[in-house]
Structure 1
Amino acid sequence: MQAVFDGAVVAEADEADVVIIEGNRYFPPTAVTEGVLQTSPTPYTCPWKGECQYYSVRVDDVTHPDLAWAYPRPYESAIERVGVDFAGYVAFDPRVKVSL
């Protein structure tokens, strides 16, 4: 499975390693292309998953704000609900094309 933005692969993983939550595909942190994510100051807390960390995606020396996010320390109840520990897994905005 690949996540592609502006012609660049920003994440790639086996389908079995990707976690689907609310229709979003979350890639393991090790599947994200090194150097493509930059921490964003945008705050958000999901009522059931916990505190979210947004990331900007940098491709070809251009930074695209808040196109990715992760839950570094999801609530234990969220892990139980999803059925797998998705701490640090990265999801992408729909502008990032995810395909098999």
Structure 2
Amino acid sequence: MTTATWNGVILAQSDATVVVENNQYFPPDSLNKQYFTDSNTHTSCGWKGTCNYYSVEVEGQVNKDAAWYYPEPKDAAKNITGYVAFWKGVKIA
């Protein structure tokens, strides 16, 4: 079971993550959605497509754009459609 935590709270947990470029992507249904808010940030990857972000909030502390996902990836990354990866201090174990 792979777990994503920040500030002592489990953000996501799954035994069905997908590894892409050394990042663990969690299935959308594995998220504890009460900690996530949509962000207006978008970036682009040449082979995956347009990336959207979530900010994470735990007990009043916000970690801006700490999670990202591809809602409509290019064909090469279809296997991670909607899956969420983390950075900015989120621990993956």
Instruction: Report the TM-score range of the alignment, normalised by the length of the smaller protein.
Output: over 0.9
TM-score with structure 1 length normalisation? Answer: 0.87
Report the counterpart of residue 45 of structure 2 in structure 1: 46
Unaligned runs of 5+ in 2: none
CA distance in 2, matches of 1:77, 1:13: 23
Report the counterpart of residue 83 of structure 2 in structure 1: 89
Report the counterpart of residue 25 of structure 2 in structure 1: 26
CA distance in 1, matches of 2:12, 2:63: 15
- The percentage of counterpart residues that share the same residue type is 40
Instruction: Name the Cα RMSD after superposition.
Output: 1.1
CA distance in 1, matches of 2:17, 2:53: 18
What does the per-residue CA deviation read over 1:20-49, in whole Å, with 9 as the maximum and x for residues that have no partner?
000000000000112111111112011110
AA at the equivalent of 2:42 = P
Q: What is the SS of the residue equivalent to 1:35?
A: helix
AA at the equivalent of 1:89 = Y
AA at the equivalent of 1:90 = V
Unaligned runs of 5+ in 1: 80-84
The size of the alignment, in residue pairs, is 92
Shift of 1:77: 2.6
Shift of 1:87: 0.5
Structure 1 stretches of 4+ moved >2 Å: none
